[in-house]
Chains A and B, each alone.
Chain A
């Protein structure tokens, strides 16, 4: 990508895609929206008559490096965006799980998926500037815009971000880019397993005068999965900035513990390390209770062979991954997942049979149901993925 922007395409959804959606609506056929197919087994099972592939609606629509914004069709992969932007020293600071050469921008926004970089940069809601989608009523709808600040109209961008395709099929999005740090380095700090030691490390990390690009606590099993083997829990910390700043950050990080350099590929490996079949739950609480959350998550992993946990102390979230296969007993899996925890459990992946018992719905009230009814009155889009009530 050069510094000149590619020609702007017409501001409508690719007609073919829009027509396919409209036809399905006209025929009242339920649709399973599929981007790169990376997260097909995530969230509740979808029961749909037809698959709507949107991955082919790909390509960068507008990229003016000086604006630090990029508009791309929903099927554009994160890898393609990374290629175009890195040529200009920029990036979309989002690293959701999944192979970036398959994961699409549309699915990332639709599922509000995020990765370790959320520690510093936030989640898709914080960097999506505008969207275009075809709603369940067949309307081509735009929310937001292409500039970095915009309060015109009600915020349809936030509404569809994380809506799992249940309100409309994303066709295009504009995102905010950042400059790539001039210098980057990744360090690993081992800590003891005692809650008090973790809490001391967490508060020390939090009190540092900088916020790392990412800070993940990984247990021994997770370390094995990402190629940083070791027996103890460890913080993997990603630093970025100008040369002087990174040098100082590295120095200051020593107050947390002994830090050693690890290869930056660790971050990519973490994105693709997940077993093909797994049950996944995120436990979240206030950051000040992170050590407790981590230990509670440990009660799940100690009950499940091959499982691991990783967490973000800044966000207060611990993610637990439990491999499953045909022989898995749903009863014992449920027992493992339901260890006592005072906080919010959000399930990402579960065997089909466990969803109704563990998390029947994400539609918690009349407003959620009203929003669904307003944008997809016939319940045609990804039916069931949020457990919406009929």
Chain B
């Protein structure tokens, strides 16, 4: 038996590195695929969200489905907690934990099958989001959820986080595109959820698993629905001299009943960051805000919708609305949006990428509040977000080594989150709870609701070893409080 303490890992708790366990894992995946020296683990101590540093005890990188199952079973035998990880692009600290085994799935990159006739694909969890769209492009298909990190993030990670992206406004989030999954439960048992070739009865366990942030097990393969490429696409850039006018245009477009494929907003700070970077997209640098609106679908009737959107933008006070003339211009407009986070990274050493949602009619009011809060705390907020969904991403660049600035940034963020909750919104639209949003869970869910979530997790992972300490604050889990293991830290 290993010396690793079998336990529900509490925040900050470190487990002793277990050489025997590392050796057994190496026997499964090979010496080169097991890391346990501090220096080697450094790259796996943080993810896409700065400010958290958590060191796993061992990082293991299986290269096949069978190896994943064998690793999960080995960890189950040893009662060792683990955290699954895709590409590490997560923005909520979801794939981080101190002292646990980090299970990297980024080597499982095989697209197992493409069924163009039924617009389905079966992929391994490490397949990069954009690689799937590229692989099915020849069939006139694509994978619709398109997080901004799509060039790097994996389908497995997307499933864990129920990832979104600009085009989810029209096409839906990851949940709406996952048909079935094969999952290794934390105890090593392999189960199939959903039915890849038809309907299912019983509970919607696919729905429960998608967005479970690695707490319910490890996806071994994912059957996803593909979307047909639209016959025509129109991409518009509307230029506003005030944020409020842009926000009002968003509300007017949504209320009109036209459902754009995407409806994105960028404010002046974001525009300047993008235009000063290699991703310069030709956004007007003197604009207070721009809207990137994409309409797609059959050619017939599309331009009528384009005209309506142009009119609604002008009515709201747009100085100019231009329609991309060709694919190159369209790609350039989108590159600026998708690489906006990267562009901000040039300006400051650290960046808080925030994620919250408000009812869409509350956007003008909420953006004004965000502005006020930023001024009060003397921080610069860059807003770049999915306006059509009411999904805000207020980002603040700062220097984490400046304690005063860090404190102001975090206080401002807390206030912004509370304002979104007060407006009837929620604390995350697509990035997940991870560890970053844990303190806010009580603001939107009662103890009874949190306890029900714990009970669900308990079904998938009775030993609570999969991504411990995430999503639901441990103190909210009454079963856990009662369980002897939680009291004594032992089984």
Contacts and interface: CB of A to CB of B under 8 A. Distances in A.
A180 B453 CA distance: 36
A199 B120 CA distance: 19
Contacts of A126: 172, 176
B170 to A, nearest CB: 11
A154 B305 CA distance: 37
B445 A153 contact: yes
A152 B427 contact: yes
Contacts of A64: 359, 361
A14 B197 CA distance: 41
A108 to B, nearest CB: 15
B444 A152 contact: yes
B201 A362 contact: yes
Interface stretch (A270-278, A303-311, A365-373): A365-373
Nearest to A203: B117
Contacts of A286: 115, 117-118, 120, 197-198
B183 to A, nearest CB: 9
B254 A66 contact: yes
Interface string A230-258: 00000000000111111111000000000
A126 B171 CA distance: 11
Contacts of B175: 125, 155, 158
Given A89-B257, A126-B176, A149-B168, A241 B424 contact: no
A245 B300 contact: yes
B81 interface: no
A149 B455 contact: no
B441 A153 contact: yes
Interface in A33-92: 64-69, 89-90
A102 interface: no
B79 interface: no
B428 A151 contact: yes
Interface stretch (A138-146, A187-195, A327-335): A138-146
B458 interface: yes
Contacts of B254: 66-68
B212 interface: yes
Contacts of B426: 145, 147, 150, 152
B167 interface: no
A161 interface: yes
B455 A152 contact: no
A149 B117 contact: no
With a 10 A CB-CB cut-off, give which of B164, B201, B206 has the most chain A CB atoms.
B201
A368 B198 contact: no
A363 interface: yes
A364 B194 CA distance: 11
Nearest to B172: A126
B173 A367 contact: no
Interface in A153-197: 153-159, 161-163, 167, 178-180, 182
Contact of B445 (A152, A180, A242, A344): A152
A386 B471 contact: no
A155 B161 CA distance: 11
A155 B210 contact: yes
B298 A151 contact: no
Interface string A77-120: 00000000000011000000000000000000000100000000
B429 A142 contact: no
A326 B256 CA distance: 53
B391 to A, nearest CB: 5
A301 interface: no
Contacts of B360: 66-68, 148
B215 to A, nearest CB: 8
Given A69-B359, A209-B231, A249-B300, A179 B433 contact: no
Nearest to B389: A149
A153 B459 contact: no
Given A67-B360, A248-B301, A153 B453 contact: yes
B340 interface: no
A125 B456 contact: no
A151 B211 contact: yes
Contacts of A163: 203-204
Interface in B194-238: 195, 197-208, 210-212, 215, 230-231
B474 to A, nearest CB: 14
Contacts of A153: 433, 441, 445, 449-450, 453, 471-472
Given A125-B204, A147-B425, A156 B161 contact: no
A90 B459 CA distance: 39
B321 to A, nearest CB: 19
A316 interface: yes
A129 B437 CA distance: 20
Interface in B56-100: none
Contacts of A368: 202-203, 205
A122 interface: yes
B452 interface: yes
A161 B204 contact: yes
B357 A288 contact: no
A380 to B, nearest CB: 16
Contacts of A69: 359
Contact of B460 (A282, A344, A367): A367
B253 to A, nearest CB: 11
Given A150-B428, A153-B471, A316-B198, A142 B445 contact: yes
Contacts of B305: 242
A375 B452 contact: yes
Contact of B256 (A155, A179, A241, A282): A179
B3 interface: no
Nearest to A43: B201
Given A122-B172, A159-B456, 8 more contacts: A66-B251, A147-B426, A153-B471, A155-B210, A248-B300, A286-B120, A343-B198, A375-B455
Please give me the 7 A-B residue pairs with the lowest Cβ-Cβ distance, nearest first.
A158-B207, A179-B257, A245-B301, A248-B300, A284-B198, A370-B459, A344-B198
10 contacts: A122-B176, A141-B446, A145-B444, A151-B211, A152-B444, A152-B445, A155-B210, A287-B118, A346-B199, A367-B460
Interface of B: 115, 117-118, 120, 161-162, 164, 168, 172-173, 175-176, 185, 191, 195, 197-208, 210-212, 215, 230-231, 251, 254-259, 297-302, 304-305, 357-361, 386, 389-391, 424-433, 437, 441, 444-446, 448-453, 455-460, 471-472
